[in-house]
Amino acid sequence: MAENNYTSENIQVLKGLEAVRKRPSMYIGGIGENGLHHLVYEVVDNSIDEALAGYCNRVDVTLTEDGSAIIEDNGRGIPTDIHAESNLPGVTVVLTTLHAGGKFDDKTYKVSGGLHGVGVSVVNALSSEFEVRVSQKGHIYRQIFQTGIPISELDIIDSTNKTGTWIKFKPDPTILETVEFSFEYLAGRLRELAFLNRGITITLSDQRSDKNYTFMYEGGINAFVEYLNEAKKPLFKDPIFISGERDSLSFEVSMQYNEGYTENIFCFANNINTKDGGTHLSGFKTALTRAVNSYIKSSGLEKAEKNMLTPSGDDVREGITAVISVKLPEPKFVGQTKDRLQNTEVEGFVNSTVYENLIVFFEENPATAKNICVKAIAASRAREAARKARDLTRRKSVLESGSLPGKLADCTLTDNLTTEIFLVEGDSAGGSAKQGRDRNFQAVLPLWGKMLNTEKARIDRVLNNDKIQPIIMALGAGIGDEFDINKLRYNKIIIMADADVDGAHICTLLLTFFFRYMRPLVENGHVYIAKPPLFLVKKGKKEIYTFTEQERDNALKEVGDKGVMVQRYKGLGEMNAEQLWETTLDPAKRLIVKIKIDDAVEADRMFTILMGDEVEPRKKFIEENARYVKNLDV
């Protein structure tokens, strides 16, 4: 029997902010890129809470050259007077104590996203350097911290007639895996906040690159929906706007249908992006389905449409873009990162209010109502066609995990934590990949020809497409609303295409398919793009593979000009099996890029711009970004 050494000496009492530094993921959701940017969001959310309380209309975020972030607002400023219980200035208490803040009563902030009271103190704890300046009562107060510990008193450094809070922090590289802020990553969240809080000006500046954005939208979430639908063809001109208020609970919904087939609903509670939905989303969905089906019956469409199936919730939401924003005094979230709203009182209120308002809107706008209903009916027919396609393909064993496509060279191992599959452009490169791979854990599926642009196709066409069927079949996890990531046969799905325009197009088509019909693959980090070398620099027995022209030139300088051979790879098919293993397949040497969704709003918008029907947005994108192209056809 093992020796029992569990005594009171084994019990640790973590003081101050030690618990945060010990278990940072509990507070910011991870120590990677998401967690890093969550630090900025925590500080910005405090400024937005000031705005919701009516005391702030401007928030400025600056990324500095030394790797710090500065957030400044023109709110009331964190209290600087002495806190009676701790005998410390209020700002010091807020920055050094978990669960300390002005958000636990319903007086200071009637609505707030940061009810845990841990946000800004967590940022302080996870920063190697932290400085706060508070403009208040005619003075500017300053205090400096390191790893959450004060290294100065709260001092008056200047006089001012303004109010507000200025915070500068530098993330601690000993705690976080990455400390380099992404300008575009932050821009997505700040843009959302500006949409959700009409009239508030939010700026983002990057001293590292001179980039800067200013976000301010008087149209609120209607402007948000129009922005999301910018590259789509709306079914009607103006978004449908519904709002409701009861006691301290209020919500807004803006929705507009487009001619596409994708559902895009973004949910927020007290400005927090509840990406996993919750009671506000379920209330909206139920009301929308009920209202559309009610109008189909009352308008006579049910009798006019022969052999009509009753549209399901998925049918009714085909092609919808919607933003739901709820504000309430005591939101209940799942976890500190607040991905799902749990308040039960929200569901019924949103459901009844949206349903009643939609029925009135449909009666007052019959043309728009009919367009929405006809689209839902068409979607229900496509759903039935998709069901038949699924049944047919199952009979052909396309969706059954027990049967695999003929061109697939599968691996020996079945553990989906260690296996990977290469989707390879062309039979020639596919043949070399099959020979060069490690058969134990690497599978290869050659692709041929251009696959379907799934941005412009319903699921019934997708299921019947002979270029897509082998991919669905090989991955084994289903598609669309039947997709089950737990059935995925491989941990890594690696797209391997030529480094030219055609290869880039194939990559984009595959990514569009994964994003639209197997999004959990991307959200959970299973999709990669292989980066094969462009050049081989060879002199004697020395071989150097390079990925850019600059690397090639550096290699030439290294080996010298005499007797050197430079090979330019125009396609993967030019490499033999051994070269392909050495450069693109070998996990120890290869370069692969993980595909991530940093900003779901911008990802959806970009796929629509690049792959949708509208030409003008695509033309505008090309014109704005053409100057960044280094190799048009490499």
**Helices then strands (H, E): number in the chain?**
21, 24
Q: Does the CA dihedral 34-37-39-42 come out positive or negative?
A: negative
CA Rg value for the chain: 28
Q: Which positions ≥6 away from 624 have C-beta within 8 Å? A: none
Angle at alpha carbon of residue 518, lines to 512 and 522, rounded to 5°: 75
Token digits of residue 258: 């487009």
498 as an active site residue: the answer is yes
Per annotation, catalytic residue among 263, 305, 330, 502: 502
Verify whether residue 599 is a known catalytic residue: no
CB half-sphere exposure, 452, CA atoms < 13 A:
22
498, 582, 599, 604: the active-site residue: 498
Is 500 known to be catalytic? Answer: yes
Buried/exposed 110-140: b ≥16 CB within 10 Å, e otherwise: ebbbbbbbbbbbbbbbbbbbbbbbbbbeeeb
Helix (H) or strand (E) holding 211: strand 211-215
Give the integer Cα–Cα distance in Å for 547 and 11.
53
Q: Which residues contact 135 (CB under 8 A, 6 or more apart)?
A: 77, 141, 160, 162, 163, 164, 165, 166
- H/E element, 617: helix 615-625
What does the alpha-carbon distance between residue 161 and residue 206 come to, in Å, rounded to a whole number? 28
CA angle centred on 55, ends 51 and 56, rounded to 5°: 50
Instruction: From 360, 312, 506, select the one nearest 424 (Cα to Cα).
Output: 506
Residues present in the chain in total: 634
What are residue 545's phi and psi, to 5 degrees? Answer: -90, 135
Instruction: Report the half-sphere exposure of 375 (CA within 13 A, side-chain side).
Output: 27
Report the alpha-carbon distance of residue 301 to residue 259 in Å, rounded: 20
Q: Which backbone phi and psi does 125 adopt, to 5 degrees?
A: -65, -35
Question: What is the per-residue DSSP string for 215-233?
Answer: E--TTHHHHHHHHHTTTS-
User: Whole-angstrom Cα distance, residue 597 to residue 188?
Assistant: 11
Q: Do 476 and 401 meet the contact criterion of CB atoms below 8 Å apart?
A: yes
Q: Choose among 495, 394, 510: nearest CA to 452.
A: 510
> Which one of the listed residues 33, 263, 500, 543 is annotated catalytic?
500
Distance CA 552, CA 146 (A): 44
Catalytic residue among 425, 455, 582, 604: 425
391 is catalytic: no
CA torsion sign for 69, 74, 75, 79 is positive
Active site residues: 425, 498, 500, 502
